[in-house]
A and B are shown apart, each in its own frame.
Chain A
Amino acid sequence: MTHVITENQDGTTTIQVSFADEGVDLQGQTSIKGGPVQAQSYLPVFESDLRRNFADMFPLPEVPAVEEEII
């Protein structure tokens, strides 16, 4: 995921994220009250929400193959 944080003049900060680097066509944008520091701390929450709400767009995690022993 890549992100851009832009501080606005009205006391808010805009967060733009993109999952194109993961091969997922999903972009998000939100704004929070505060500056870049608050935005940086809120970023994981925003990312987590997007991954959960758009889970169908993300590839399923690969489950490592387990070698079964024949008894």
Chain B
Amino acid sequence: MPYNTQQIKRDQQNSPIPQYFNPTTDVYEPLLGRNGANRVELYGPDGTPIGTTAGKLNVRASEIESILTTIQGYVDGLEAALGEVQATPTTYTVLARLKDLSDRLGEVSSTPTANTLLARLKSLEDKIDAITSGATPATARLTGSIETINTNPVVGVKTVTATAASIFAGGSVKSNRRKLILRNEDPVLRFRIGPSTVTQQNGFPVEPGAVVIIPFDPAVIVPIYAISEGASLQVSVMEV
């Protein structure tokens, strides 16, 4: 029967009490509660009451439990990989490796444990301090400078003509030459030097009696061409 055919509940003073209509029993029933709140039944979006399982709401509880179980598995694995916080953690754990790293680093103190990284850094720092203060000056010896001669020099006198030609002292350009020295032996004429494209106009002029010294990187072959501005002239050449 519809609710409007039933009598609502009333208290001793005949006033309506908090109540709700129960369509199953077809009567009004008192609205109960506790701790200052009335009882409420939750409904899902589809109009169906949300049930419970083992005292827990069925709000995707099973999926959440599955995810939590998975997470717990990860945490358990992580705990094993991390190792224990103790003086000697289990080998190959993160904490064991951190401890190993810490041991190799050494302590931040004025006297770190010998052979640790900080001990070696401190030793290096002490040596640099001694060098910069002048207490223990650093000694250094330069080797391999292109300013030094390491093979016999090659000397010769070359004829420079109006045809630009590679200039060198011997039969060919000295291998790994470090320096080319030219002296214009002509009392009047100039000659010019430059790359293979040198001309009597654009080359670098070498005055009569002048000496030109050209340093080279021994590892790089760079030919130097010479051309006379007029008639042939003699040039003394030395390659080192």
**Which residues on A are within 8 Å of B, measured CB to CB?**
10-12, 26-34, 38, 41-42, 45-46, 48-50, 52-54
Partner of B165, one of A11, A30, A50: A30
A30 contacts B196, C-beta separation under 8 Å: no
Residues of A within 8 A of B225 (CB): 33
Which residues in A have their C-beta under 8 angstroms from that of B197? 11, 33
**B223 within 8 Å of A (CB atoms):** yes
Q: What residue in chain A is nearest B232 (Cβ atoms)?
A: A45
Task: Tell me how far the C-beta of B224 lies from the nearest C-beta in chain A, rounded to whole angstroms.
Answer: 11
- Residues A11 and B159 in contact, CB atoms below 8 Å apart: no
CB-CB contacts of B136-164 with A at 8 A, as 1s and 0s? 00000000000000000000111101011
Q: Which of the candidate stretches B26-34, B72-80, B168-176 sits at the interface with the other chain? A: B168-176
Q: How far is the CA of A38 from the CA of B227 in the complex (A)?
A: 13
Are A12 and B172 within 8 A (Cβ)?
no
Pick from A28, A32, A33, A42: contact of B171, CB under 8 Å: A28
B161 touches A30 (CB 8 A): no
User: What residues of A have a CB within 8 angstroms of the CB of B168 in the complex?
Assistant: 30
Tally of contacts, chain A with chain B, CB under 8 A: 57
Complex Cα distance A52/B161, Å? Answer: 16
Which one of A27, A42, A52, A54 contacts B163 once the chains associate, using CB atoms below 8 Å?
Answer: A42
Q: B113 an interface residue at 8 Å Cβ cutoff? A: no
Q: A49-B156, A53-B157 are in contact. Are A30 and B166 (CB under 8 A)?
A: yes
Are A11 and B172 CB-contacts (below 8 A) given A33-B164, A45-B161? Answer: no
A10-B196, A45-B232 known; A32 and B166 CB under 8 Å?
A: yes
CB pair A38 B163 closer than 8 Å? yes
